[in-house]
Amino acid sequence: MKKLLLLFLFISNFSVSQESLLQSGPMLGYSDFREVLIWVQTKAPAEVKIGYFTGDEDMRFTETVITDASNDLIAKLYPREVIYGATYTYKLYINNMYVPRDYKLEFQTQTLWQYRENPPDFKIAIGSCTFINDQKDDRPSPYGGHYEVFNSILSKDPDLMLWSGDNIYLRTPDFLTETGIRYRHRNTRALPQLQPLLGSVHHYATWDDHDYGPNDSDRSYVHKKITEKAFNDYWGNLNTNAAGNGGVTQHFPFNDVEFFFLDDRYHRAPNKSMDDDKDYFGKEQLDWLIDALTASNASFKVVVAGGQIISDAAVYENYATYPGERKRLLNRLHEERIERVLFISGDRHHTEISRLERKDAYPLIDITCSPLTAGIHQAREEGNTLQVKDKTYYKHNFGIIDVTGNKGNRSLKLTIYDTKGVKVFDYTVDQKELEYSKK
């Protein structure tokens, strides 16, 4: 009996020692029909694997990945022995020892509803602008706070989360080296309050200036390939560089909604350029977007970008400060009669909805949701004539989008919540509202 007790204590202590090797995660990346991605980072080289099961099945395991310094001690693991439309419990193993977490670890595979049934109802969390304080590197007054927002997001039980830029804030000591860039990713990702949200919600992200480079940075930033590599290492997106000319442009479906993540930095001309026709997304990316939107039959085609697209206030870094390219995008959407397009953006450190009514076309709507934890500002008049009345908020917040209804008659309901999860306002868009008249 004494020997069994000693063995139990040895195993327990060894398991705890393996837990001390965990830097951050596990984090869910993309969800597909035949596999998902799970991201883990360790503090030292280690063997990492995931065990997973659903119902009363026996546990199955991913391949073991050995983390090493060349890739920032990151492991990307792929449960592949899965079935469609199922929810799995999973467990983390480091050096072949189970590492317990005191919160739920679950992932889901996508449902094969096409040609069979109505698409599933589901929930999408949205947010941007995540500043995590780091005293030695920060400005004298703390700029971040209200980290309880991440638990509030998790309490709404979303299926996936869209991070629409400024997901980290590179600081002055970070910009010039890969060491600094990766330090900031590593520091932000390890926030304790963030870990439960990472563990059971599928995460997809694009970037804006603060996770791309210096403030207001553009295509001239010399380390953009380094930040591109770091971004792709630290997120688990389904794809990247979708337009084929660099950057983090991407596309993925989730149930009957398709998402088109744009890159507003990699090809962007400087803000100070005097050319009214200067690049914001750039021709190649816009051509790809129009092609991809045209090809899509999704109930909603959600275009996500770091900066505001529809607001007509030509201030700060809004698309309206690049009037030539903005006009081309809006014209092409109409010329190609592309239906069911909706925009989501971040950046602005306040939340608002912009709605552009168009002649002989459906309205273009942009949901700007910001910030999660970064600084806020007082309510102010910026000149956005397209701002929807009473749909603004100037404190920390997040959004939950409920997609519901029968095929062909889907509805998208946005609810904005404060950091404690208390409702601020809601706004509903029906699929039919974003279609051309069938007269």
Note the pLDDT tens digit of each residue in 260-281: 999 999 999 999 999 989 999 9
Residues near 173 by beta carbon (within 8 Å), at least 6 away in sequence: 137, 180
> Where in the chain do CATH 3.60.21.70 domains reside?
122-434
Q: What is the largest CA-CA distance in the chain?
A: 84
Q: Domain 122-434 is in which class?
A: alpha beta
What is the per-residue pLDDT across 171-209, written as a single tens digit (0 to 9) for each? 999 999 999 999 999 999 999 999 999 999 999 999 999
Sole residue written with tokens 């060491």: 179
Confirm or reject CATH 2.60.40.380 for domain 2-108, answering yes or no.
yes
Residue 43 and residue 74: Cα distance in Å, rounded?
A: 9
Res 6 pLDDT > 70: no
CA 142 vs CA 145, 206, 349: distances in Å: 8, 25, 16
CA–chain centroid gap for 434, Å, is 24
The predicted model gives 329-351 an average pLDDT of: 98
Q: Does position 9 have pLDDT exceeding 80, yes or no?
A: no
| Residue 163 backbone phi and psi in degrees, to 5 | -100, 110
Taking a C-beta distance cutoff of 8 angstroms, is the pair 175, 222 a contact?
no
Please give the Cα distance from 393 to 370 (Å, whole number): 9
Query: In this predicted structure, what is the pLDDT of residue 439?
Result: 57
Overall average pLDDT of the 408-413 stretch: 98
With 50 as the cut, is the pLDDT of residue 12 above it? no
- The CATH 2.60.40.380 portion of the chain extends over 2-108
Cis peptide before 26 (omega within 30 of 0): yes
Task: pLDDT band for 14, please (50, 70, 90 cuts).
Answer: very low
CB 126 within 8 A of CB 164: yes
pTM: 0.95
Give me the residue label for tokens 């400024």.
Answer: 166
**pLDDT tens-place string over residues 66-107:** 999 998 999 999 999 999 999 999 999 999 999 999 999 999
Examine the pLDDT at 10 and tell me if it is beyond 80.
no
